Homo-oligomer: A and B are copies of this chain.
């Protein structure tokens, strides 16, 4: 289970935090670190704070775009401390861990952590199927990023120690890339239908992303929906 989970850090400012994240990950058996546009990496500060988890840094994947970090993932979760205008399916770290554990063996899971100062953007959060919030003191809820990774990694490791009862399903879950293809297709058709005005899109696509993300669609379902979209488009 732990081998199918990746930690994705978006635009981390301080290299020391990247090192501390690597250490936190390794203590909980996580190996796969993705860095989206890190401010400075590799760095000696990161190496020093990683302590004996330098191998996690050595194997880290640096990418320019978030989509490159999550394209092949089936479940994408993003950490968020703010309430959004549109509420999103929200998990506690414990629920996140149980969800990751109870999926199938080959499900790839990405967990996103945002910038030290400002977290994830709304657009990035809309890429996520679920949001994760670490319960914290309402008067001061600002965990250091490595501390946040430690808490979530701890819940994942703890969950991995207990028996799982995986469900059974007939088709594999769709990947993030397949879902993006679907969303693009959907948006195009909605625009063609004059249902969605691209000059005043409001929150339509956001709400649709939330709906389909939460549903965790399989590849067959995506194919069916895209078949419907293609048929609609033909009729126009």
A125–B80 alpha-carbon span in the complex (Å): 38
Contacts of A158 in B (CB 8 A): 92, 94, 135
Query: Does B144 lie within 8 Å of A26, measured CB to CB?
Result: no
- For the complex formed, measure the closest distance between the CB of A38 and the CB atoms of chain B, giving whole angstroms: 20
Inter-chain contacts of A85 with B (CB < 8 A): none
Q: In chain B, what residue has the closest Cβ to A51?
A: B142
Chain B residues with CB under 8 A of A136: 27-29, 157
Top 10 nearest A-B pairs (CB, nearest first) are: A147-B150, A29-B137, A27-B136, A151-B154, A26-B140, A27-B143, A135-B158, A27-B137, A150-B150, A52-B140
CB of A168 within 8 A of chain B?
Answer: no
Cβ of A203 within 8 Å of any chain B Cβ, yes or no, is no
Q: Which residues of the other chain, B, contact A140 by a CB distance below 8 angstroms?
A: 26-27, 52-53
Q: Please give the residue numbers on chain A whose beta carbons come within 8 Å of chain B beta carbons, in ascending order.
A: 20, 23-24, 26-29, 51-53, 92-94, 134-137, 140-144, 146-147, 150-151, 154, 157-158, 161
Neighbour of A157 across the interface among B23, B137, B154, B161, CB < 8 A: B137
Contacts of A161 in B (CB 8 A): 135
Contact indicator B154/A28 (Cβ below 8 Å): no
Which chain B residue has the least Cβ–Cβ distance from A26?
Answer: B140
How far, in angstroms, from A29 to B140 measured CA to CA in the complex? 8
- Contact call A27/B150, Cβ cutoff below 8 A: no
Q: Which of A29, A140, A158 has the most chain B CB atoms closer than 10 A to its own CB?
A: A140
Residues of B within 8 A of A137 (CB): 26-29, 157
State in angstroms the CA–CA spacing of A141 and B25 once bound together.
Answer: 10
Shortest beta-carbon distance from A26 to chain B in Å: 5
Min CB gap A118→B, angstroms: 15
The chain B residue sitting closest to A146, CB to CB, is B147
CB A229 to nearest CB in B, in angstroms, measures 43
Q: Tell me if B144 and A20 are in contact (CB < 8 A).
A: yes
Chain B residue numbers with a CB within 8 Å of A146 are: 144, 147
Closest residue on chain B to residue A136 by CB atoms: B27
- For residue A51, which residues in chain B have a CB less than 8 angstroms away from its CB? 142, 144
Given the interface contacts A147-B147, A161-B135, does A27 sit within 8 Å of B154 by beta carbon?
Answer: no
